Structure 1
């Protein structure tokens, strides 16, 4: 057996030693890592159609966050400045994420680190990771486009927001330079990876809701780029406005996806995994 194989065997043994903590105790790093790897491995065993449907569902469910942020932006537009409105929407931004995470739909940014961990643990290949990422992204984007088309029509019909609201929000997301969007998306991916890690570490639903709310509200308040809800935002500005071209939409979306992937895979999955591995003899 090579040194590398021995090292991997030691890592697997250490993970197997992780036992469930007493109810009053916090989970250890090893326990959280073990649960994350097991959750990630389960997703790899799902059929392609199941992954696609679950990820499409996540894209649809995030539309409820978009519906609420457009509604808040529109209804308080006479009371607050535009800058204040972009901070205020942070209060309703977490809704869709709570629905997705607690409902266990597959969201790319939440699952990025989760799906990377089995690869780092040598249970799956890099190619299998890229394939499943592709399926999840496709499902999330299709779900976002579909719910977006529904909301762009029903919003003005119900009087909860106008087409101008959709355009203003989308142009605000897309007007930054691509390097800024990339770094912003890396930070968002990092936070979403931590969200997944912290949700696994918590033991009750209320704690999970608080974690999801705090992290996603922070993302919204500072304006970090999330590729899946951002897909709906910029797609709306492209369809209903004149300033966002198809090329600009594609560049913004691609940059956000790459940034989110880097943030989740490197800053959470790799660092958390290496922190554990480096303690294994």
Structure 2
């Protein structure tokens, strides 16, 4: 077992290349992800909490754009079409978060799991850092939800009824449906992290972020962090969304996102590399 780990580390070390013009290999991407994940583990807890709090705030700009677009198109376009068109602005907050290097739970889930799979960090430290990131994301999201729920109607961008419609649209499913939907969203977010690492310039990073999150927006897959902003804001203005519904939906979406990113990206990508390592 130890020999296998040493061989894997050696293969990862040899994955580096000085050729900046060619496409990165599987090993190079994996190595960068593990190194980046370890750097996050080595940050202070206060730094992680503040960065994740910032991400919770920044992702709220997607919510602002969703509500504003809905308010602009309401009465001009069928409501079903509006929910599909919202995919055009859904990526805004994600672009701000990822390029701004803030720590978003779903974007960091697979990244933080890889050092555990590589035996560089423990499973307990993974759960600990996930807890800090989720706490920061949720607190930031609640604050921006409170802010936008007040300022949006006062600016005439949208009203409380629109906030309620978006919130109800997110929670209006059974918990098993939300779980599977969140697994797919977590899978996509893990791939986003992987593909951003594989890219070589900012333009391609923006394109990757936009395409993947637009798919999530168009299909209505459940992303826990922006979703909790939608639910919390809806809870503020609608009696149909109570605190129990908020908590059930949030925890189900968090679990699904974690499973999707960890299993379908971190574990499968890592095992694919391991299976290709030949022992002497």
TM-score, normalising length: structure 2:
0.98
Matched, 1:122 2:119: yes
Deviation of residue 78 (structure 1)?
A: 1.2
Matched, 1:212 2:209: yes
Q: RMSD of the TM alignment (CA)?
A: 0.6
Q: Out of 242, 247, 260, which is 2:244 matched to?
A: 247
Equivalent-residue separation in structure 2 for 1:69 and 1:247 (angstroms)? 24
Matched, 1:34 2:31: yes
**What secondary structure is seen at the aligned counterpart in 1 of 2:59?**
helix
Equivalent-residue separation in structure 1 for 2:158 and 2:24 (angstroms)? 44
Equivalent-residue separation in structure 2 for 1:115 and 1:173 (angstroms)? 27
Equivalent-residue separation in structure 1 for 2:253 and 2:244 (angstroms)? 14
1:166-190 per-residue CA deviation (whole Å, 9 max, x = no partner) reads: 0000000001000000000000000
1:110-133 per-residue CA deviation (whole Å, 9 max, x = no partner) reads: 000000000000000000000000
1:200-232 per-residue CA deviation (whole Å, 9 max, x = no partner) reads: 000000000000000000000000000000000
- Per the alignment, residue 203 of structure 1 pairs with 200
Equivalent-residue separation in structure 2 for 1:13 and 1:149 (angstroms)? 50
Matched, 1:178 2:178: no
Matched, 1:81 2:78: yes
Alpha-carbon contact 1:21-1:27 (below 8 Å) kept: no
Deviation of residue 75 (structure 1)?
A: 0.8
Equivalent-residue separation in structure 2 for 1:186 and 1:73 (angstroms)? 27
Equivalent-residue separation in structure 2 for 1:143 and 1:27 (angstroms)? 35
Runs of 5+ in structure 2 lacking a partner?
none
Mapping of 1:68-217 within 5 angstroms? 68-217=65-214
Q: Out of 230, 234, 238, which is 1:237 matched to?
A: 234
- Per the alignment, residue 57 of structure 1 pairs with 54
**What secondary structure is seen at the aligned counterpart in 2 of 1:18?**
coil
Deviation of residue 20 (structure 1)?
A: 2.7
Equivalent-residue separation in structure 1 for 2:43 and 2:15 (angstroms)? 25
Deviation of residue 23 (structure 1)?
A: 2.7
Deviation of residue 24 (structure 1)?
A: 2.3
Equivalent-residue separation in structure 2 for 1:65 and 1:239 (angstroms)? 18
